[in-house]
Structure 1
Amino acid sequence: MPAPDLSLETTVGPLRFKNPFLLASGPPTASGKQIRHAFRLGWAGAVTKTIVPDTMEIVDVSPRFAVWKDENSRLLGFENIELLSKKDESYWTREIAAIKKEYPGRVLIASIMASPDPKEWQELAGTVQDAGADAIELNVSCPHGMPERGIGAAIGQHPDLVGEITRAVKPFATVPLIVKLTPNVTDIMPVAHAAVDAGADIIAAINTVQCLMGIDLDTLEPRPSVAGASTYGGYSGPAIKPIGLRIISQIAREIPVPLMGIGGISRWQDAADYIAVGASAVQICTAVMWEGAGIIHEMNTGLSGYLAQKNFPGVGALKGLALPHIGTHTALSRDTISYATLEFPERCTSCGSCVVACRDGGYHALSIGDRHVVIDKKLCNGCSLCSFVCHKGVIVMRPGS
């Protein structure tokens, strides 16, 4: 059980949250009703679905989602080609003001996007902050639909354009300015530097990864199929967490800027991973779409219990602790090798999966004998493939000489 006096409060720059969990901009924040529901359940903050000027037409297609599931229908990856908020500015100004009146202790962030004209960004920023938004998030990272109009990731992939929009909005922002980055770049660091140098108070990363989910092999139409055709979409869900962790850790190691982690967070452990590599809070979208906003209860309980178990006084004590262990490939030790070890031979069913893997993708170090796997340590090179292929946890990697 979590310690009763353990607080999950965290700060991200000048923003203070009762816990590190926010709803990310997307379908779960498409309306004030949904945001209120999340706040009642215990979410510390929410980022509105991206608000656009009334002059920008937003019309969605149908269907607009595709998924990748395992054999037990658990979500692995999620693709969407949904656009931005279809609600007008007046709706959002009313809702932002009303939500802040009802939930003054929660953080409400307005996500905005406009045309390439910086003046539109400035005007929209003024509109949402005057309505009462606690912060502004610049969406320069959407990978589908909007880049065709010269915005979204069409801006976020170019450091100079990110800097231009950020620099244009900053003098008009009386609340913290967040820039949400796209992972669809070769090197995130020039983009992150450009945002911070131009005045970003906080960096949020990542937006979705551009993808093509798959092909219906009966019709040969890509998914999701919209009247027989499709387009490249935004990929989210558990499968992108390693990309998000890589980008947050890269920024945290080099730039002293507050960070919000996004991407593949569906359990409290995922959030803890992001915090350990430098994030102060996390934003969650796909897991809420898949399992509902009620996941916040397990998120809070699980993280509290973990921090108590580790004797950490709060979220801040975990922040960045993994960063000193991340470095270059060249700096990694070649002095020790971990070998495959038959840790639990009683579990072995002689299925041969590890033997095949080692034969065709490893070093021919495994064989089957006397009803369980046999490991030849003279041939074992310590790659660890067999330990992951084994479904029963029979093989464990152990340091050896």
Structure 2
Amino acid sequence: MAVDLSVEFCGLKLENPFVLAPSPSTDQLDLLIEAFDAGWAGAVLKTVAVDSSVVSRVFPLVMRIEQSGAFIGLQNIDLVSEHSVEFMEQMVVTLKNRFPNKVVIPSIMASTKEDWQSLTKRFVAAGADIIECSIWCPHGAEWGLCTKVQDPVGTEQIARWVKEAAGDVPVVIKLSAQDSDIIATAVAVERGGADGVCAINTIKSITGVNLDTLIPYPNVAGVSTYGGLSGPALKPIALRCTAEIAQNVDLDIASSGGITTWQDGAEFLLLGASTLQICTAVLRFGIGIIQELRAGLESWMEEKGFQSITEVIGRSLPYLVEHSQLPRGIQVVSQIQSELCNGCRSCLTACRTGGNNAIIWREGFPQVIMNKCIGCGICRAMCFEKAITLVRPSGAVNTSKIQF
């Protein structure tokens, strides 16, 4: 069965849902050419302002964030592109001439109606397929290139300004998970006439503190600042935002935040995304990651019987309900698979400190006291070997089709 990876986004057809997010990778023409040749469907250029040169770079720009040696994200203190608007216009022209079927998306940032509309008109004239608006940034707002807070009223106004200037060219508004009500802001985007949203921007963060010097990271000549968190740590938040937006507004969604594998991408599509913007994974693994992303998604779709991306988008949304609508009275208990258990005792500790003290240690192996287990799942959550499953106790009504 042939699988079609193409997707409709804001009225445009993309050959697949994978798009480069605005980043250092999309600020270099040679890398963009390499990416399009490799199979990326499009790219969002690094954000540009009317006068990007007002912000001079500081170094280092990026810090790794890890937990127990595992990579969980990056924090960056980079801001807008240092390239001029003229340079970025020419980049759009060059890319569209060479790759007419790829989607080229300038990302713009401004603080006045005149600047929002001026940038929009210039990039539309250069041949941009979509205009993406970066209204709020997690750091550096004091430079005056973006708003300090993304609120529904201001966002609606900017969406209307930009759409007015863009004409038939689609407009996408980038949203922040730090918004107190991202649904209200998405609704405001819809009222403002924009065609889609990108969710989410990086999240304002601090990487950590050097316990020897007492200076937070990154250390820039003895001082530090807040930055934007990206990477795997953002995935649960970005998934939530994608689903909430999809359930409440009729806008196309470009999801961004923590997408590293094709499995991640499939989850975002199932929760309502149409396209997938990727940055941190590209910085880690290179432009060539697109081959694995496309092949993995295509293989999964074949296995599940999906013939097109359209059949995947939003497929999991009906399973998301309000907490009050969750089924009550279904009892489950933990079951430990001895062949997978490595004897780390994590389940024992978790059950004693946060569960119902239903796990005992006997002859070098954890055992569940069935009449004490309430099925909370804390032990399963703490088991890195995936040796614990939740099952219906013997004698319960058959629910073999339910996966706990």
TM-score normalized by structure 2? 0.94
Query: Which residue is equivalent to 2:251?
Result: 257
- 1:135-176 CA distance string (max 9 Å, x none): 10011132111x223453525x21111111111121110310
- Equivalent position to 2:182, from 176, 181, 188: 188
Query: Which residue is equivalent to 1:370?
Result: 363
Contact 1:143 1:153 in 2 (8 A): no
Deviation at 1:349, TM superposition (A): 3.7
What amino acid sits opposite 2:35 in the alignment?
A
Where 1:218 maps in the other structure, the secondary structure is coil
Where 1:217 maps in the other structure, the secondary structure is coil
Query: Which residue is equivalent to 2:120?
Result: 125
Query: Which residue is equivalent to 1:391?
Result: 384
Query: Which residue is equivalent to 1:85?
Result: 81
For structure 1, the 5+ residue unaligned runs are none
Contact 1:153 1:182 in 2 (8 A): no
Contact 2:47 2:80 in 1 (8 A): yes
Contact 2:53 2:84 in 1 (8 A): no
The percent identity for this pair of structures is 37
Cα distance in 2 for partners of 1:355, 1:148 equals 50
Cα distance in 2 for partners of 1:357, 1:332 equals 25
Establish whether residue 66 from structure 1 lines up as the match of residue 59 from structure 2.
Answer: no
C-alpha root-mean-square deviation of aligned residues, in Å? 1.4
Where 1:129 maps in the other structure, the secondary structure is helix
Deviation at 1:71, TM superposition (A): 4.4
The 5-angstrom pairing of residues 1-400 of structure 1 reads: 5-54=2-51, 57-71=54-68, 74-114=70-110, 116-145=111-140, 147-155=141-149, 157-174=150-167, 175-342=169-336, 344-400=337-393
Tell me which stretches of 4 or more aligned residues in structure 1 moved more than 4 Å. Answer: none
Contact 2:173 2:196 in 1 (8 A): yes
For structure 2, the 5+ residue unaligned runs are 397-404
Deviation at 1:393, TM superposition (A): 2.6
Contact 1:244 1:262 in 2 (8 A): yes
TM-score normalized by structure 1? 0.95
Cα distance in 2 for partners of 1:112, 1:185 equals 20
Contact 2:52 2:84 in 1 (8 A): no
Contact 2:53 2:82 in 1 (8 A): no
* Count of equivalent residues: 393
Deviation at 1:378, TM superposition (A): 1.4
Contact 1:140 1:182 in 2 (8 A): no
Cα distance in 1 for partners of 2:350, 2:104 equals 50
Cα distance in 2 for partners of 1:363, 1:226 equals 48
Deviation at 1:222, TM superposition (A): 0.5
Where 2:213 maps in the other structure, the secondary structure is coil
What amino acid sits opposite 2:66 in the alignment?
K
Cα distance in 2 for partners of 1:113, 1:161 equals 14
CA separation of 1:117 and 1:393: change in aligned 2, threshold 3 A: closer
CA separation of 1:149 and 1:93: change in aligned 2, threshold 3 A: same
Query: Which residue is equivalent to 2:400?
Result: none
Cα distance in 1 for partners of 2:80, 2:106 equals 13
Where 1:108 maps in the other structure, the secondary structure is strand
- 1:189-227 CA distance string (max 9 Å, x none): 111111110111011110001111100111111011111
Deviation at 1:94, TM superposition (A): 1.3
CA separation of 1:55 and 1:249: change in aligned 2, threshold 3 A: closer
Where 1:180 maps in the other structure, the secondary structure is strand
Deviation at 1:372, TM superposition (A): 1.6
- 1:305-341 CA distance string (max 9 Å, x none): 0000000011111110111111211111112022101
Contact 1:349 1:371 in 2 (8 A): no
